Amino acid sequence: MIQNGCEFERFVGEDLCRIGVEFGDEAWKVYEQWAETKQDEPAVQAVFSPNTATIEKDLCPSDATFYPLILEVNSIIFHYGPLLFEHFLQAPASQPVIPGPLIVMPCDPVRFHHTKVALSGLMRRIQAPPASYPTLLGLRSGSYICHVQQIWGNAIVCIAVFKP
């Protein structure tokens, strides 16, 4: 992933690292190929953590939409967590039907039962949610949405997600 442009940071004195990629970039593709082979169940959550370049390019949503935006993304993550890959094979256009946003933010990262569910299908659903997710739908093309954090045993993979 490093050869393909990911950000890599090892925390001093700990057996923990942070890997940063952008959904769809070359480092993401390498990460997804690796993650699809894992039997582990990553814990997943969304955070609002744009980098300086994203802020300077004015790609962030307004302050007024911050909480509803992160609530909607974490709701999608919450609804996708218990799904199995088979749910995607049976759904129209490979996206299962999910309920609308939660009323309150989930407190903990969501443990995914199938690693493949936590990858491109989840990211595409965040980029193109159902009609019951008005904040996500209302973002302009190119807007920063969030970072989806996938937490493995000793690594946190932070995936920047933008509106297509």
Alpha-carbon dihedral of residues 122, 101, 111, 98, nearest 10 degrees? -60
Average pLDDT over residues 14-31: 94
The pLDDT tens digits of the residues spanning 122-151 come to: 999 999 999 999 999 999 999 999 999 999
Please state at what angle helix 66-80 crosses helix 120-127, rounded to 10 degrees: 140
Full-model pTM: 0.93
CA distance linking residue 17 with residue 130, whole number of Å: 34
Q: Sheet harboring 144-151: ordered strands across?
A: 7-10, 17-22, 155-162, 144-151, 43-47, 110-111
